[in-house]
Structure 1
Amino acid sequence: MARLVPIGVAAQELGVHPMTLRRWETEGRIDPPLRTQGGRRRYDLAKLRAIAPHKAPSTRSTIAYARVSASGQKDDLVRQVALLESYCAANGWAYEVISDVGSGLNYHKRGLKTLVSRICSGEVGRLVLSHKDRLLRFGSELVFSLCEHFGVEVIIINASEDSTFEEDLANDVIEIVTVFSARLYGSRSDENKQVMERLQEVAKELSP
């Protein structure tokens, strides 16, 4: 259900003066607000946030996002979540954790889709990651652009741990190999099985 608020609350949430909202309405930049029986304006915050970048108010959610590529990395996921929880708790933030098990090349993971949906609805004020690539292997900049547009603060705990070009390349290749190995898995074709085995060997050779 849409959250309808009076003009003063809407302006405060967006960090603008109430007159700015009236001007945007006159210019056609926003839809005319709903009116109460007494004629008072009521604004849909989600719609306003979609067109008006703003600073994230402290009342919005802090979400910590964790991801590993495969079910065999569940222990790593547990450690990642523990790090995120410790960091958020140390800063005194009320938070929730969204986690995924799936390739960084997969844009259809349930947790990621939930995260993006909530960012676009204006619910999220802060996004916390352990590393940049935990979000996506490729395409994370698009999500960061959405965060900037909707006023979401992005915190990457280990952002200072820069990897080398060779390490980034190796990790990218491993991610791609993992995806293609999964697609070939279970096939009865001996040729496909041989390809899969070779891909897995390559991944082990490249693994840091």
Structure 2
Amino acid sequence: MRRLCTIGEAARLLGVSIPTLRRWEESGKLVPERTAGKHRRYDITKLKPELAIEDTTRTTIAYARVSSHDQREDLERQKQVLELYCAQHGWNFTLLSDLGSGMNYHKKGLRRLLDAILSGDVGRLVITHKDRLLRFGAELVFAICEAKNVEVVILNQGGECSFEEDLAKDVLEIITVFSARLYGSRSHKNKKLLEGVKEAIEDNALC
């Protein structure tokens, strides 16, 4: 299993100073990877292959999510992409998925994922896009992963949508949550309100 280390750990392994590693990076001699939080990480298998011992105690978790039932086909596509990617890299993995809002922190799959990360059972997290994890709060999860030495692999670093489309989705999800609390998730008022919001978004070409 590939293991990523911090710039301090890399300097100790190679017996050089941190400024030396930064100079090597500037010259292109040794280019580190970057975490979701933009921190340097060095592949230990490239620094010292003899130290790259397979860690069978921690697993890879692939996580997929969509917001609504009418996106089930997209959920299946995400799963297939994640399964293929993990299989191609020879990783033993567990696939978790959720069908629910990116603003819902109580989804079963997400809770299982966080519990496994906090317990130290996870060595790698694989997702297709950053916002598949959470609409708001993904950076906090990435920070927890970094603290627990969990490698985060985001297959598509670019956004799925434009800024305007993301904003429209965020607004729609916020209205969905609060209107459901106010009127009830199956009420006529709630459905009418959501239909009106969707029409307004479409009219303004935001979604």
Normalised to the residue count of structure 2, the TM-score between the two structures is 0.65
Residue-by-residue CA offset, 1:179-205 (whole Å, 9 max, x unaligned) = 3455544225x5x55423312323544
Q: Distance in 2 between matches of 1:96 and 1:120?
A: 16
**Aligned pairs for 1:83-98 within 5 A:** 83-98=81-96
- Identical-residue share of aligned pairs (%): 54
Q: Partner residue of 2:187?
A: 187
Q: Partner residue of 1:150?
A: 148
Q: Partner residue of 1:72?
A: 70
Q: Partner residue of 2:173?
A: 175
Q: Partner residue of 1:196?
A: 194
Question: Would you say 1:58 and 2:58 are equivalent positions?
Answer: no
Q: Distance in 1 between matches of 2:133 and 2:154?
A: 10
Q: Distance in 2 between matches of 1:159 and 1:195?
A: 34
Question: Would you say 1:126 and 2:127 are equivalent positions?
Answer: no
Structure 1 counterpart of 2:146, one-letter code: E
Question: Would you say 1:137 and 2:135 are equivalent positions?
Answer: yes
Q: Distance in 2 between matches of 1:91 and 1:64?
A: 13
SS of match in other structure, 1:62: strand
Larger Rg, first or second structure (1 or 2) = 1
Query: How much has 1:101 moved relative to structure 2?
Result: 0.4
SS of match in other structure, 1:172: helix
Residue-by-residue CA offset, 1:54-82 (whole Å, 9 max, x unaligned) = x9973210000000001111111000000
Q: Determine if contact 1:125/1:153 at 8 Å carries over to the other structure.
A: yes
Q: Distance in 2 between matches of 1:106 and 1:136?
A: 8
Q: Distance in 2 between matches of 1:179 and 1:168?
A: 17
Q: Determine if contact 1:66/1:99 at 8 Å carries over to the other structure.
A: yes
Q: Which has the higher contact order (CA 8 A, sep 6+)?
A: 1
User: In the comparison of the two structures, how many residue pairs are matched?
Assistant: 153
SS of match in other structure, 1:100: strand
Unaligned runs of at least 5 residues, structure 1:
1-15, 17-54
Question: Would you say 1:100 and 2:98 are equivalent positions?
Answer: yes
Q: Determine if contact 1:68/1:134 at 8 Å carries over to the other structure.
A: yes
Q: Distance in 2 between matches of 1:61 and 1:203?
A: 41
Over 3 Å counting, the alpha-carbon distance change for 1:187 and 1:65 in structure 2 is same
Q: Determine if contact 2:165/2:206 at 8 Å carries over to the other structure.
A: no
Over 3 Å counting, the alpha-carbon distance change for 1:133 and 1:198 in structure 2 is same
